[in-house]
Amino acid sequence: MKKLEFPIIGTKVKGLNKKFDINSPKGRSEYFEAKAGGEIAALKNYMQSNTFVAFLLGKKNSGKGTYSKLFTEIFGEEKVAHVSVGDVVRDADANWDKIAKNKLDELKSYYRGFISFEEAVKALKGRSTANLLPTEFVLALMKLYIKEHEGKVLFIDGLPRELDQVSYSLYFRDLINYRDDPDVFVLIDIPESVIAERIKYRVICPKCQTSRNLKLLVTSKVGYDEKEHKFYLLCDNPSCKGERMIAKEGDELGIEPIRPRLEKDEDILRKAFSLHGIPKVLLRNHVPAKEVGKYFDPYEITPEFILSYDKKNKKVNIKEKPWRILDDNGVESVSLMAPAVMVSMLKQLVDSLNL
């Protein structure tokens, strides 16, 4: 079956030849202003007295959290909330005694389901990856959580998780009686080859949980372990003290352990894509290599870092080249840096909200 393919929305600005450092907050700020200043101004004006709800839909490790963080970076935490359904559920489990003491009646008032409230609570405490929490109870928990973020744009990550939840997400605001905002589906198209490499070479800081990649996103400090014959990254987060970043157990297997999840996510994307009556923001992480120059500047393409070790001088050498992959339809492509994808989101949001 041919995979979904979204339109290419370029970022090139005629006459703009400056190269921006999109890996730094200051450089990204300048970049976004140059590439989407008009759209940002329109959205800021809208967000002075209005909000909207965006449902982030994409395969696991497609960058949903990253795009939410970039949007928050542009518009500020006082205006935006990233609502991870998984985090809300885990937080409710960990802090259930506090909820039961202070907010139990409120939570009950939001709940409507085919099992009793007490049974739903038992499901929360005994849930597993094989037995998901009833959607109706998730919605009640979300209402409780979202009420703490009144007046903010919401990026909801993790709903829908199942095919039958697509309709729940469409009527999400009505079901929880929250607010009468415009809503939009943000659909993310990303090749499995990109997801696989992101997982396979991913490392995280054990102290601050900052995530990087030995192949696609190195830190400013790269080392080589002569005993293990392996390269490693030192965290360069200013709040850290150069902790050695480590791989998660099982990441070396790539996407194979999560393939059933990816197939389910693909089905959900297809169903959401085919729905009528709700605006859609279509984000694509990749562009055919032969066309990328028409739409994007070279620094917007994800680089591949080639690491080598000079044993004589005890030095790690780093070279870069455009990272090329095959997309899910077998087309040679390049992956885009997250800020370039964000520019596409900003442009489409302005259209979706009729600004």
Rounding to the nearest 10 degrees, give the CA dihedral for residues 325, 298, 340, 291. -60
Beta partners for residue 80, in sequence order? 153
Residue in the structure block whose two tokens are 């996510």: 265
Residue 85 contacts residue 169 (beta carbons within 8 Å): no
For residue 33, give the amino acid letter: E
Q: How far apart are CA 332 and CA 342, in angstroms?
A: 23
pLDDT recorded at residue 175? 46
Mean pLDDT, contiguous 10-residue spans, the chain (355 residues): 81 93 92 97 95 89 89 94 87 88 89 86 70 78 82 84 63 55 90 91 88 90 92 87 86 85 86 85 95 95 94 92 92 95 97 93
Same domain, 211 and 86: no
CATH code for the domain in which residue 38 is found: 3.40.50
User: Same structural domain for residues 186 and 58?
Assistant: yes
The CA distance from 261 to 201, in Å, is 20
Query: Looking at residue 249, what is its pLDDT?
Result: 80
Q: Which of 149, 166, 191 is the last residue of a domain?
A: 149
| pLDDT at residue 316, rounded to an integer | 94
- Report the pLDDT value the prediction gives residue 56, as an integer from 0 to 100: 92
Structure tokens at 155: 């990026």
Number of domains in the chain: 2
DSSP 165: G
Residues 221, 104 share a domain: no
Distances (CA, A) of 222 to 11, 203, 230, 234: 31, 12, 11, 6
Residue 186 lies inside a defined structural domain of this protein: yes
Contact 75, 42 (CB under 8 A): no
The phi and psi torsions of 19 (rounded to 5 degrees) equal -95, 125
Euclidean distance between CA atoms 75 and 346, whole angstroms: 11
Q: What is the pLDDT of residue 332?
A: 96
Cβ burial 232-266 (10 Å sphere, 16+ → b, else e): bbbbbeeeeeebebebeeebeebbeebeeebebbb
Q: Are residues 280 and 324 in the same domain?
A: yes
The alpha-carbon radius of gyration of the chain (Å, integer) is: 22
* pLDDT of amino acid 172: 59
Mapping DSSP to helix (H, G, I), strand (E, B) and coil, where does residue 57 land? strand
Q: Pick from 149, 181, 202: which residue ends a domain?
A: 149
- Residue type present at position 125: K
Is residue 103 located within the same domain as residue 136? yes
d(CA 51, CA 152): 6
102 and 171 belong to one structural domain: no
Whether residues 37 and 85 share a domain: the answer is: no
Q: Are residues 66 and 94 in the same domain?
A: no
The verdict on 64 and 104 lying in the same domain is no
Domain end position, chosen among 122, 149, 176: 149
pLDDT of the residue at 171:
57
14 in a structural domain? no
139: nearest Cα among 89, 81, 100: 89
The pair of three-digit structure tokens given for residue 243, joined into one six-digit string: 């902790």
Range of the domain at 166: 25-79+152-352
In a shared domain, residues 324 and 177: yes
In a domain, 9, yes or no: no
> Using CB atoms within 10 A of its CB, is residue 126 exposed (0-12), middle (13-18) or buried (19+)?
exposed
> Whole-prediction pTM value?
0.85
Same domain, 41 and 84: no
CA distance 17 to 301: 15
With respect to residue 20, please indicate whether it lies within any of the assigned structural domains. no
The tokens for 266 are: 């693909």
Considering the domain architecture, whether residues 277 and 318 belong to the same structural domain is answered as yes
